[in-house]
């Protein structure tokens, strides 16, 4: 794909014989630009989709700001390979099918679809054993241009190894736009192995935390506790099924949780704050032999006393990465009205307002922000 200088109003048109579109292009930390780029073409067993909406993830904001986990530093290699079109929380409509793509993906032109955020290699040990979300190559839409760009654009190419799922038309645009993060939330909750008699703590009531609240509520644990600093988000967590909400700025979260559990601590702790304090809080709050699930993407290093994990509590510490095998689950739950985006999707911006959208997404004024390349078909 060739990147041209931005020319306003050329989205979906052509320069000479080159079909072009509008896209946000990441060229480096804090160096994102709205540009006119060559519209992608479908190769064998590939799809081109027109983007209906693309959510802005916390990882997008951290990438934009230059977090070293994306850009490298101190011996850490750079994960992002610019120039690249960002965005991995997307969905859209099939516009073009490459040779064999209809049979390969089981879709036709006009179908409403989503691709999982990872583009697996299908060749490594993890892919061949069905653990594709831990692919050794590990290309993710919106971060490495060599495989495929992301969804902050008019159109997008889905390579042959993409995991593609159909979205029923009865699912609202806002619900469809959060399928990707909701799949991550479901995977995190599944990693917690929640039982009926568990006291579960979710640390962080951002977009993912609020989705986890809905998922944990469906598991019907003994008690569901949510911790966050924003009163409005705690109120929303209550409507989604939280039994107890705690603002650690004004309340002693650990004392409250121990009071609910006979002094022992919670059984399951799901960490989704993205800040180091969320980790150390959980290690102190969780009971012996408890299950600690780490989901967050951090912008800074976290320091903890590891003797808590082993010698003192013998904790089961689990990671949660992406949303493997969870997209069909989320789509089904949405179709049945059991989970929702209501209250979570707070802002919509046209693609041209990408800079404002990222700023709002990186503030406490929003929960989930969407970029919309074009008016909805729905």
Residue 52 to residues 158, 212, 281, Cα–Cα distance (Å) = 15, 25, 39
- Confidence label for 102 from pLDDT (cuts 50, 70 and 90): very high
Q: Is 170 in the same domain as 306?
A: no
Verify that 141 and 195 share a domain, yes or no: no
189 in the same domain as 70? no
The pLDDT tens digits of the residues spanning 59-99 come to 999 999 998 888 876 666 788 889 999 999 999 999 999 99
The pLDDT mean for the chain works out to 93
Confidence of residue 108 (pLDDT cuts 50, 70, 90): very high
Query: pLDDT digits over 268-287, tens only?
Result: 999 999 999 999 999 999 99
- Res 69: pLDDT: 80
Instruction: Reply yes or no on whether the pLDDT at 38 is more than 60.
Output: yes
Cis peptide bond prior to 83, omega within 30° of 0: yes
Using a pLDDT cut of 90, give the percent of the chain over it.
Answer: 86
Residue 364 lies in a domain: no
* Same domain assignment for residues 131 and 209: no
| CB atoms near residue 100 (< 10 Å) | 12
Residue 7 lies in a domain: no
Q: How confident is the model at residue 318, as a pLDDT?
A: 98
**Within a domain: 6:** no
Instruction: Tell me if 281 sits within 8 A of 203, measured CB to CB.
Output: yes
Q: What is the CATH number of the domain that holds 171?
A: 3.90.180.10
Inform me whether the pLDDT recorded for 5 exceeds 50: no
d(CA 113, CA 237): 29
Q: Which tens digits make up the pLDDT trace of 199-257?
A: 999 999 999 999 999 999 999 999 999 999 999 999 999 999 999 999 999 999 999 99
Predicted confidence at residue 322, as pLDDT, reads: 98
338 falls within a domain: no
Crossing angle, helix 179-191 and helix 207-219, to 10 degrees? 50
Which tokens belong to 190? Answer: 């599944």
- In this structure, the answer to whether residues 220 and 307 fall within a common structural domain is yes
Number of folded domains that form the chain: 2
- At residue 45, does pLDDT exceed 70? yes
Q: What is the pLDDT of residue 224?
A: 98
Band the pLDDT of 376: cuts 50, 70, 90.
Answer: low
Q: Is the pLDDT of residue 7 over 90?
A: no
For the ranges 94-98, 142-146, 203-207, 314-318, the lowest mean pLDDT is seen at 142-146
Long-range CB pairs of 328-333 (<8 Å, 24+ gap) are 328/165, 329/183, 329/186, 330/179, 330/182, 330/183, 330/186, 331/165, 331/167, 331/168, 331/171, 331/179, 333/218
pLDDT in tens, 333-348: 999 999 999 999 999 9
The two three-digit tokens of residue 87, written as one number: 């965005």
Residue carrying the six token digits 């009205």: 337
> 186 and 305 in one domain?
yes
Q: In CATH, what number is assigned to the domain containing residue 295? A: 3.40.50.720
Residue 299 pairs with which residues in a beta bridge?
none
* Same-domain check for residues 56 and 190: no
d(CA 89, CA 173): 13
Largest CA distance in the chain: 73
Same domain, 197 and 164: no
Is the pTM for the entire model greater than 0.75?
A: yes
Report yes or no on 334 lying in a domain.
no
> What is the model's pLDDT at position 10?
43
The reply to whether 109 falls in a domain is: yes
Position 73 in a domain: yes
Domain range for 173 is 14-178+345-356
Q: Is the pLDDT of residue 2 over 60?
A: no
Q: Report the distance separating Cα 63 and Cα 116, nearest Å.
A: 19
Task: Note whether 121 and 139 are same-domain residues.
Answer: yes
Q: Which two tokens stand for residue 326?
A: 């969870």
Q: Is the pLDDT of residue 187 over 50?
A: yes
d(CA 23, CA 42): 18
- Do residues 27 and 147 both lie within one domain? yes
- Structural domain contains residue 253: yes
| Confidence bin at 14 (pLDDT 50/70/90) | low
**Do 24 and 171 share a domain, yes or no?**
yes
Co-location of 224 and 174 in the same domain: no
On whether the CB atoms of residues 180 and 151 are closer than 8 A, the answer is: no
């Amino acid at each position: 794909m060739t990147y041209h200088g931005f020319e306003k109003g050329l989205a979906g048109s052509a320069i000479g014989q080159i079909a072009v579109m509008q896209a946000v292009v990441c060229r480096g930390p804090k160096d994102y630009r709205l540009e006119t780029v060559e519209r992608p073409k479908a190769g064998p067993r590939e799809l081109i989709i027109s983007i209906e909406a693309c959510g802005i993830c916390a990882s997008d904001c951290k990438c934009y700001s230059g977090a070293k986990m994306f850009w490298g530093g101190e011996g850490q290699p750079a994960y992002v390979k610019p120039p690249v079109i960002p965005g991995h929380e997307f969905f859209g409509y099939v516009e073009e099918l490459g040779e064999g793509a209809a049979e390969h993906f089981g879709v036709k032109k006009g179908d409403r679809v989503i691709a999982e955020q990872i583009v697996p290699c299908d060749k490594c040990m993890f892919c061949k054993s069905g653990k594709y979300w831990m692919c050794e190559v590990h290309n993710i839409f919106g971060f490495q241009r060599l495989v495929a760009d992301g969804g902050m654009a008019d159109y997008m190419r889905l390579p042959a190894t993409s995991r593609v799922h159909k979205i029923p038309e009865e699912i609202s645009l806002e619900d469809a736009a959060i399928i990707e993060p909701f799949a991550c939330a479901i995977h995190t909750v599944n990693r917690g192995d929640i039982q009926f008699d568990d006291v579960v703590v979710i640390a962080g009531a951002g977009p993912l935390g609020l989705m986890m609240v809905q998922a944990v509520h469906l598991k019907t644990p003994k008690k569901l506790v949510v911790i966050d600093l924003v009163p409005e988000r705690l109120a929303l967590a209550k409507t989604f099924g939280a039994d107890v909400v705690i603002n650690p700025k004004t309340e002693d979260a650990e004392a409250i949780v121990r009071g609910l559990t006979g002094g022992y601590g919670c059984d399951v702790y799901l960490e989704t704050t993205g800040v180091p304090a969320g980790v150390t809080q959980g290690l102190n709050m969780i009971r012996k032999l408890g299950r600690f699930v780490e989901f967050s993407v951090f912008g800074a290093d976290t320091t903890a006393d590891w003797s808590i994990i082993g010698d003192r509590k013998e904790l089961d510490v689990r990671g949660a990465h992406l949303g493997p095998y969870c997209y069909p689950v989320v789509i089904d739950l949405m179709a049945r009205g059991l989970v929702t985006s209501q209250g979570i999707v707070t802002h919509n911006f046209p693609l041209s307002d990408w800079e404002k959208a990222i700023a709002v997404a990186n503030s406490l004024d929003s929960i989930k922000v969407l970029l919309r390349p074009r008016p909805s078909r729905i």
